[in-house]
């Protein structure tokens, strides 16, 4: 039996994709082997790799002049891979701090770059807000501006793309990429760990403007050098082949759903319904400022914290699982990525209302 899985990542995947993978697992494309057991340099895998990249480019309308890389190491690898590729040790970079993941990113930058400027830090609101554009203190000579458009733990999302006066904008889109259309040309570099909207963990997708290639430090490990990886079509070394294949199936699934315009409409409606139920309840609460509430990650609390444990246990028994908040903040959280169907959100809302009737 499939449950409704609200995990923040690794997160639920479309059941159609899992069924197709099961169907093809032992005999992929009539080869008599699985996709995991063949060379990444052979024709069948290369064809799959090219097609998945082209599907991703189509979904996101990636303009020419950008490379799409399928790399290893997950989202957090990029916290250090980005500075190693884009700025000299004695250079200057800007970071916007809006919660856990941007804090993790700036911590790595501080180890690797001499001048790390905090363009904004939302500590004063306990990370329940994002800074206004006018509040960003950007430095003139920065090699890039880094921010996290969607903070997975805090459930805080930027309702706008920061303007940076020509300085390359770097975005950790791990928990928002593919949730809606974006204007890729606004970004110098986008990265996203796969285990939310893309596929299995370990894989990280990087979309980088070509003119930013070739700025890497001389002592960067070769496997992390975007230019080397791009030159080899993400085959500088063996890529995570099964994750890449599964991501390719997810891209096809997204196209069948009507692409990112359709996903955005569905995601907006899911999030709106859940926030409306929380706000109307007087029993549950969400701490995030309304204009920057995440479509993907909805943290919430119960009026009486002692009810959290029974809430989670009863939810689990009702087939609604992984609603625990991140261990660093506690409380509850429903992650409602692309693969969470509207019926899953409806079932959660109905359960929440029933739980309130019995305990409110």
Catalytic residues: 101, 172, 196
Separation between Cα atoms, residue 230 and residue 65, nearest integer Å:
12
**Shortest approach of ligand PMP to residue 346 CB, angstroms?**
25
**Shortest approach of ligand PMP to residue 242 CB, angstroms?**
16
The tokens describing 29, both together, are: 């494309």
String marking each residue 138-157 x if it binds ligand PMP according to CB under 6 A: ----------x---x-----
Nearer to ligand PMP, 129 or 359 (CB): 129
Site for ligand PMP contains 74 (CB under 6 A): yes
Site for ligand PMP contains 76 (CB under 6 A): yes
Nearer to ligand PMP, 28 or 79 (CB): 79
**Angle between helical axes of 43-60 and 259-281 (0-180°, round to 10):** 60
Question: Nearest residue to ligand PMP, using CB?
Answer: 74
**Shortest approach of ligand PMP to residue 241 CB, angstroms?**
18
Q: Which residues contact 251 (CB under 8 A, 6 or more apart)?
A: 52, 55, 56, 59
**Shortest approach of ligand PMP to residue 320 CB, angstroms?**
21
String marking each residue 201-230 x if it binds ligand PMP according to CB under 6 A: x-----------------------------
Please, are residues 127 and 151 in contact by the beta-carbon 8 Å criterion? Answer: yes
Q: Which residues contact 184 (CB under 8 A, 6 or more apart)?
A: 60, 61, 62, 63, 66, 190, 207
Give the H/E segment covering residue 206.
strand 203-209
**Shortest approach of ligand PMP to residue 171 CB, angstroms?**
10
Site for ligand PMP contains 161 (CB under 6 A): no
**Shortest approach of ligand PMP to residue 240 CB, angstroms?**
12
Nearer to ligand PMP, 96 or 352 (CB): 96
Site for ligand PMP contains 5 (CB under 6 A): no
Residues numbered 86 to 105 that lie near ligand PMP (CB under 6 A) are 101
From the list 240, 238, 230, 174, the residue with the least C-alpha distance to 202 is 240
What is the DSSP secondary-structure string of 74-115?
HHHHHHHHHHHHH--TT-EEEEEE-SHHHHHHHHHHHHH-SE
The tokens describing 350, both together, are: 């109905």
Nearer to ligand PMP, 8 or 229 (CB): 8
Site for ligand PMP contains 9 (CB under 6 A): yes
Please, are residues 162 and 170 in contact by the beta-carbon 8 Å criterion? Answer: no
SS (H, E, C) 32-44: CCCHHHCCCCCHH
Listed ranges 12-20, 57-65, 170-178, 246-254: which one lies at the site for ligand PMP (CB under 6 A): 170-178
From the list 156, 100, 131, 180, the residue with the least C-alpha distance to 294 is 156
Angle at CA of residue 353, ends 352 and 357, nearest 5°: 115
Residues numbered 184 to 203 that lie near ligand PMP (CB under 6 A) are 193, 201
Site for ligand PMP contains 162 (CB under 6 A): no
String marking each residue 230-259 x if it binds ligand PMP according to CB under 6 A: ------------------------------
Nearer to ligand PMP, 45 or 158 (CB): 158
Q: Which residues contact 74 (CB under 8 A, 6 or more apart)?
A: 193, 194, 195, 201, 202, 203, 204
The tokens describing 341, both together, are: 């169907």
**Shortest approach of ligand PMP to residue 297 CB, angstroms?**
8
Site for ligand PMP contains 299 (CB under 6 A): no
Q: What residue ranges bind ligand PMP (CB under 6 A)?
A: 9, 74-76, 101, 148, 152, 172, 174-175, 193, 201
């Amino acid at each position: 039996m499939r449950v409704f899985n609200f995990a923040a990542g690794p997160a639920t995947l479309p059941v159609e994709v899992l069924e197709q993978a099961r169907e093809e697992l032992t005999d992929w494309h009539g080869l008599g082997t699985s996709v995991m057991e063949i060379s990444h340099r052979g024709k069948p895998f290369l064809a799959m790799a090219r097609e998945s990249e082209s599907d991703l480019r189509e979904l996101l309308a990636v303009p020419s002049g950008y490379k799409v890389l399928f790399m290893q190491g997950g989202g957090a690898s990029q916290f250090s891979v980005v500075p190693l590729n884009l700025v000299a040790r004695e250079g200057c970079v800007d970071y916007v701090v809006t919660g856990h993941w941007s804090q993790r990113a700036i911590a790595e930058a501080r180890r690797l770059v001499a001048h790390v400027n905090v363009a904004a830090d939302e500590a004063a609101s306990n990370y329940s807000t994002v800074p206004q554009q006018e509040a960003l203190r950007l430095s003139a000579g920065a090699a890039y501006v880094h921010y996290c458009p969607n903070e997975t733990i805090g459930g805080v999302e930027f309702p706008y793309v920061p303007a940076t006066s020509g300085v390359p904008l770097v975005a950790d889109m791990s928990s928002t990429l593919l949730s809606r259309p974006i204007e890729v040309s606004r970004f110098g570099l986008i990265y996203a760990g796969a285990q939310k909207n893309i596929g299995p963990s370990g894989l990280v997708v990087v979309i980088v403007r070509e003119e930013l290639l070739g700025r890497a430090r001389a002592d960067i490990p070769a496997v992390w050098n975007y230019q080397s990886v791009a030159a080899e079509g993400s085959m500088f070394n063996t890529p995570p082949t099964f994750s890449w294949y599964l991501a390719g199936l997810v891209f096809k699934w997204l196209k069948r759903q009507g692409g990112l315009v359709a996903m955005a409409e569905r995601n907006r409606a899911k999030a709106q319904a859940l926030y409306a139920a929380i706000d109307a309840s007087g029993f549950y609460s969400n701490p995030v400022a309304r204009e920057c509430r995440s479509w993907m990650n909805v943290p919430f609390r119960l009026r009486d914290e002692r009810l959290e444990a029974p809430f989670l246990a009863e939810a689990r028994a009702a087939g609604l699982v992984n609603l625990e908040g991140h261990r660093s903040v506690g409380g509850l959280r429903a992650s409602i990525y692309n693969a969470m169907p509207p019926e899953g959100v409806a079932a959660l809302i109905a359960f929440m209302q029933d739980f309130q009737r019995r305990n409110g």
